[in-house]
Amino acid sequence: MKIAQESPAIPRLYEVGQNYIIMEYLEGPTLFQYLESGGVLSKKLMRQILFVLKEMKRLKFSRLDADLRHIIVTKEEELKVIDHYSSYTRIRNRPELIFEGLKKLGLLPLFLKELKEMDPESYMEWKDL
C-alpha cells in the first residue's frame, strides 16, 4: 500500500507500525454487496472497474485482480481496493476474480458487452475468462 499511495484507487495510509496499520476509513458497501442489493452496473461503474484494473497494472502489481468483496464503493461512487496482501507476490495478469464475481451476479455479459466498446484491446485479452 505504501508504494501505491498516489493512486486514487488505494486507501490512504496514515501510520504503519510493526504490527498495525492506520488507514483511511472507507464508508460504503463492497462492490459485491452493492451489486447484489440492486445497485446498477452503470457505464460509470464499469469505467471505474476498468480504471482500477489499469491502475494495478500501472502500479506494477503482479496480481491484476481483486475479489468484488475487496473493492469498496464510496459515497462518491468511486472504487477503492483493499486487501493488497498478495499484490506483489501472487501472479495473476487477468481479472479472474472480478469476472467470477460478475458472473455469479449475472452481470458478466453486460460488462463484456460494454468493455468491447470501451476498451477493445482489454476485451480481446479477457473475453475468454
pLDDT tens readout for residues 80-96: 998 766 555 567 778 99
pLDDT at 83: 76
Residue 13 in this model has a pLDDT that exceeds 60? yes
CATH 3.30.70 is right for the domain spanning 13-126: no
Q: What is the pTM of this model?
A: 0.86
Rounded to whole angstroms, how far apart are CA atoms 10 and 84? Answer: 9
State how far the alpha carbon of 18 is from the alpha carbons of 4, 10, 11, 14, in Å: 19, 21, 19, 14
Q: 78 — phi, psi (to 5°)?
A: -105, 155
Q: Decide: residue 19, CB within 10 A, 0-12 exposed, 13-18 middle, 19+ buried.
A: exposed
Please tell me whether residue 57 adopts helix, strand or coil conformation. Answer: helix
